[in-house]
Structure 1
Amino acid sequence: MIIATPSIHIPEGELQFQFKLASGPGGQNVNKVATAAELRFDVARSPSLPDAVRARLRTLAGSRVNQNGELLITARRFRSQERNRQDAIERLIALIQQAATAPRPRVKTKPSRAAKQRRMDEKRRVGEKKQDRRSGGSSRIEE
């Protein structure tokens, strides 16, 4: 049982692992042992996730969720299969925790009367500056 949040527990049976050959450092070991871990988690059909968390998780995961609603996490940072497996689980937990926290609703605000006045004063100042530029160019000497 994986505990993502106090209210969300995911049974190990819902996670599917596949191990593949990884690229990168590791000497001969990298050519012989399948150390990269690929974790598949069915977000769409998981009974462990509340609907709101499921929707936010799909949005957060983005392109890592395929057409079937499966979240795919590939971990190949470490040289051992077990460390990569743990890394993939930790990344899944982090995503679920992030999805579990609901975003704070935006509070509408109004600009203060002083802020409106400052804005209007600045607009007037810029307009006057442009008007001065148009008024004939007093620095020119015409003969």
Structure 2
Amino acid sequence: MSPRPDVTEDLVVSARVVVPAAELLERFSRSSGPGGQGVNTADSRVELSLDVAGTTSLPPDLRARALDRLGPRLVDGVLTVVAAEHRRQLDNRRAARRRLAQVLREATAPPARRRRPTRPTRASVERRLRGKEQRARLKRTRRRPGSGDQT
């Protein structure tokens, strides 16, 4: 197998999630930006879409998590990523597949563990206060004589 993923293969998101190539929709259009004579004729920009709401490749629990996390990015349940940074259409197709896999990986990742609040130890509180006292003492020694606090 080649080191670069083929654009006609299934999209491997994680060990648990593989999106069949048949569920991916690619659209091509002209890219903006530099490219010389070819920029006006080559359809190198790629839009890769996946119907997250209707896909069979995501287990129900992961689909619900993805729909919740990707809510603002979805249009009628469809996630679309765009790649137009390369001059070659094939490179943009590969970039779009990588980007879609990354977005899906992040959207289906398990939630982070909740932080358990802890209290500082007595020793750490004392060290902090000692440090503050030393700093205050140092700053007091830098003052001009006679310009102290007279209240």
Common fold: TM-score over 0.5: yes
Show the counterpart of 1:101: 109
Show the counterpart of 2:93: 85
Show the counterpart of 1:46: 55
For 2:107 and 2:62, locate their aligned partners in 1 and report how far apart those are by CA, in whole Å.
Answer: 5
Asked if 2 retains the 8 angstrom alpha-carbon contact of 1:15 and 1:40, the reply is: yes
1:24-76 Cα offsets, whole Å, 9 max, x none, are 1111111011110011100011011123322333354454311x100011110
Q: Counterpart amino acid of 2:46?
A: A
Q: Which of residues 15, 23, 26 in structure 2 aligns to 1:6?
A: 15
For 2:94 and 2:28, locate their aligned partners in 1 and report how far apart those are by CA, in whole Å.
Answer: 13
For 1:109 and 1:51, locate their aligned partners in 2 and report how far apart those are by CA, in whole Å.
Answer: 33
1:63-120 Cα offsets, whole Å, 9 max, x none, are 4311x100011110111111111111111111122233202321322314638x77xx
- What are the residue-to-residue correspondences of 1:1-143 with 2, within 5 Å? 1-61=10-70, 63-66=72-75, 68-112=76-120, 114=122, 138=150
Asked if 2 retains the 8 angstrom alpha-carbon contact of 1:39 and 1:88, the reply is: yes
Asked if 2 retains the 8 angstrom alpha-carbon contact of 1:57 and 1:95, the reply is: no
Number of residue pairs matched by the alignment: 124
TM-score, with structure 2 as normaliser: 0.69
1:118-140 Cα offsets, whole Å, 9 max, x none, are 7xx8xxxxxxxxxxxxxxx955x
For 1:57 and 1:29, locate their aligned partners in 2 and report how far apart those are by CA, in whole Å.
Answer: 38
Show the counterpart of 1:133: none
Q: Which segments of 5 or more consecutive residues in structure 1 lack a partner in the other structure?
A: 122-136
Asked if 2 retains the 8 angstrom alpha-carbon contact of 1:65 and 1:71, the reply is: yes
What is the root-mean-square deviation in Å for CA atoms of aligned residues?
Answer: 2.7
Q: Counterpart amino acid of 1:106?
A: R
Asked if 1 retains the 8 angstrom alpha-carbon contact of 2:25 and 2:49, the reply is: yes
Match of 2:36, SS state, is coil
For residues 83 and 113 of structure 1, do their structure 2 counterparts lie closer, same or farther at Cα, with a shift above 3 Å needed?
closer
Overall identity of the aligned pairs, in %: 32
Match of 1:28, SS state, is helix
